[in-house]
Chains A and B, each alone.
Chain A
Amino acid sequence: MTVSLELELQSYVLLQLGEHRFAIAANQVAELVAPSRVFCFPHRTPNIEGVILRRGRIVPVCDVGEPLIGKRVTSRRYYLIAVRLYKTQSEWVAIPVTGECSLIHSDLNPPAESDATHVGGWLSHDGHVIQVLNLEALIPAHESDGLHGSRRQFAEAQR
Chain B
Amino acid sequence: MQTAHRAKSVPVPTEQIILFWISGQLFGVSSSAIQEVRSSDSLSGPSGEIFADALNKVRQITKRGDTTVYVVDGARHFGLQSTSGALVFVLRDTRTALLVDGIERMTTMTRLQALPKAFRSDERKWYRGLTALDQTVVPIIHPEGFLTPEEIAELDLSVAAKKLHLSDSSEETKFLQ
Chain A interfacial positions (CB closer than 8 Å to B) = 39, 41-45, 48, 51, 53, 56-60, 62, 84, 86, 91, 93, 139-143, 145
Chain B interfacial positions (CB closer than 8 Å to A) = 25, 27, 78-80, 113, 116-124, 126, 130, 132, 135-139
Instruction: Among B25, B117, B132, point to the contact of A141 (Cβ < 8 A).
Output: B117
Inter-chain contacts of A84 with B (CB < 8 A): 117-118
How far apart sit A62 and B130, CA to CA, in the bound complex (Å)? Answer: 17
A42-B25, A51-B130, A58-B132 known; A140 vs B120 contact (CB < 8 Å) = yes
Give the shortest distance, in Å, between B112 (CB) and chain A (any CB): 10
Give the shortest distance, in Å, between A156 (CB) and chain B (any CB): 18
Inter-chain contacts of B117 with A (CB < 8 A): 84, 86, 91, 141-142, 145
Subset of 13 A-B contacts with CB under 8 Å: A41-B25, A42-B79, A43-B119, A43-B122, A45-B123, A51-B130, A53-B132, A60-B118, A84-B118, A91-B116, A91-B117, A142-B119, A145-B117
Inter-chain contacts of B124 with A (CB < 8 A): 142
Residue of B nearest to A40 (CB): B25
Give the shortest distance, in Å, between A51 (CB) and chain B (any CB): 6
Residue of B nearest to A145 (CB): B117
A58-B130, A58-B132 known; A142 vs B120 contact (CB < 8 Å) = yes
Total residue contacts A-B, CB cutoff 8 A: 69
Residue of B nearest to A141 (CB): B117
Instruction: Among B25, B116, B121, point to the contact of A59 (Cβ < 8 A).
Output: B116
Q: Which of A41, A51, A141 gathers the greatest number of chain B CB atoms within 10 Å?
A: A41
How far apart sit A45 and B149, CA to CA, in the bound complex (Å)? Answer: 23
Asked if A60 and B132 make an inter-chain contact with CB atoms under 8 angstroms apart, the answer reads no
Instruction: Among B27, B118, B126, B136, point to the contact of A39 (Cβ < 8 A).
Output: B136
Residue of A nearest to B80 (CB): A42
How far apart sit A66 and B153, CA to CA, in the bound complex (Å)? Answer: 39
How far apart sit A84 and B120, CA to CA, in the bound complex (Å)? Answer: 14
Give the shortest distance, in Å, between B104 (CB) and chain A (any CB): 14
Task: List the 6 shortest-distance A-B pairs measured between CB atoms, nearest first.
Answer: A42-B78, A44-B121, A43-B123, A142-B120, A39-B137, A60-B118
